[in-house]
Amino acid sequence: MKLLYQFSIILFVSFLGEILYLVIPLPIPASVYGLILMLAALCTGIIKLSQVKEAASFLIEIMPVMFIPAAAGLLDSWPSLKPIWIPVILITILTTIIVIAVTGQVTQQMIQKEKKKKNELGKMGGKE
């Protein structure tokens, strides 16, 4: 029952994203609106992490399965992709490398920032 409640929260936020997509005339996908709403709700405390954590973890675990229909669609589109497969592969590899590099740099900066915060708090705690 708990998972059903958590899924309903996630679906409700996604539904709100769909409504924003219909109301706001910008070329932003509804799923992005939903993600922004969920982030805002989690940051402000409207939704507590514990209210969606198990359902979100489950969705993350099964995410690779969700790519199977897209891969099947690519195979179905092979006649259209055949003349341009080399540029598509090169672009895919290049963008993957860029995403990995940027993600690694951002993660390292966040870890260093967190360590710096902990060190400063530790020093302050020792003086008091």
The SS3 of residue 96 is helix
Name the domain count of the chain. 2
Three-state SS string over 25-59 comes to CCCCCHHHHHHHHHHHHHHHCCCCHHHCHHHHHHH
Is there a domain that residue 56 lies in? yes
Are residue 54 and residue 83 in the same domain, yes or no?
no
Is the model's pLDDT at 112 over the cut of 60? yes
* Cα gap 106→121, rounded to integer Å: 23
User: SS3 for 115?
Assistant: helix
4 shares its domain with 61: yes
Q: What angle do CA 65, 69, 73 make, to 5 degrees?
A: 150
| pLDDT at residue 126, as a whole number | 56
pTM above 0.75, yes or no: no
> Looking at the structure, do residues 4 and 54 belong to the same domain, yes or no?
yes
Structural domain boundaries enclosing 24: 1-66
Asked if residue 30 is part of any domain, the answer here is: yes
Q: What is the pLDDT of residue 7?
A: 96
89 and 116 housed in the same domain: yes
pLDDT tens-digit profile of 2-47? 999 999 999 999 999 999 999 999 999 999 999 999 999 999 999 9
Among positive and negative, which fits the CA dihedral 26, 32, 34, 35? negative
